[in-house]
A and B are shown apart, each in its own frame.
Chain A
Amino acid sequence: KAGVTQTPRYLIKTRGQQVTLSCSPISGHRSVSWYQQTPGQGLQFLFEYFSETQRNKGNFPGRFSGRQFSNSRSEMNVSTLELGDSALYLCASRIQETQYFGPGTRLLVL
């Protein structure tokens, strides 16, 4: 089976812009979670989607949003980018209790 894929892998944006990241889970996995990783805060949970419904949400401002499609692919969107949004964004798909991570999208906000 193919693993979790994320696109794009690298992205450079400027403050105030918005960005959309995409994640395709492992075939058959219906749960997709997003995490933000920064040097200062470590790995932090953003949200989880299951069957197109958001099941959990982390402690992030409303500028961070996401959605899941009927084929389980997920997108996350960050509006009005700030310098502090520069991070590695990781997507994971889950089967039972085990989560499998994609390669991540590195976002740099200038």
Chain B
Amino acid sequence: GIQVEQSPPDLILQEGANSTLRCNFSDSVNNLQWFHQNPWGQLINLFYIPSGTKQNGRLSATTVATERYSLLYISSSQTTDSGVYFCAGPMGGKLIFGQGTELSVKP
């Protein structure tokens, strides 16, 4: 089965800074997803990105499936970006999640 590893586990940023979160997956993943879990526990879809690059406002993501990694870029971070970021890959209808990157953006 696939395994998903994320780095770094924790990240503290000053408001306005940029960051890059990484997700490595151990097996061929066709449908990688990135989520943001807010402080209330809600998992919010950020990107469905099996390959290539997508952008949504200050966030963008790139997946290089042949090299089995994905990157999530956050530019000009805001305090509302705080929370835990997960990447997940499907295996037989279920999602395998990484352990997450906990981001804290300080004002």
Contacts and interface: CB of A to CB of B under 8 A. Distances in A.
Contact of A33 (B35, B41, B94): B94
Interface in A47-62: 48, 55-56, 58
Contact of A101 (B43, B90, B92, B96): B43
Contacts of B35: 101
A103 B41 contact: yes
B93 to A, nearest CB: 5
Contacts of B33: 98-99
Chain B interface mostly: strand
A97 B90 contact: yes
A84 interface: no
Contacts of B42: 101-104
Contacts of B2: none
Given A101-B43, A106-B41, A56 B86 contact: no
Task: Find the residue from A43, A101, A104 having the highest chain B CB count within 10 A.
Answer: A43
Interface in B75-107: 86, 88, 90, 92-97, 99-100
9 contacts: A35-B95, A55-B93, A56-B94, A58-B94, A97-B31, A99-B45, A99-B95, A100-B45, A102-B42
Interface of A: 31, 33, 35, 37, 42-43, 45, 48, 55-56, 58, 88, 90, 92, 97-104, 106
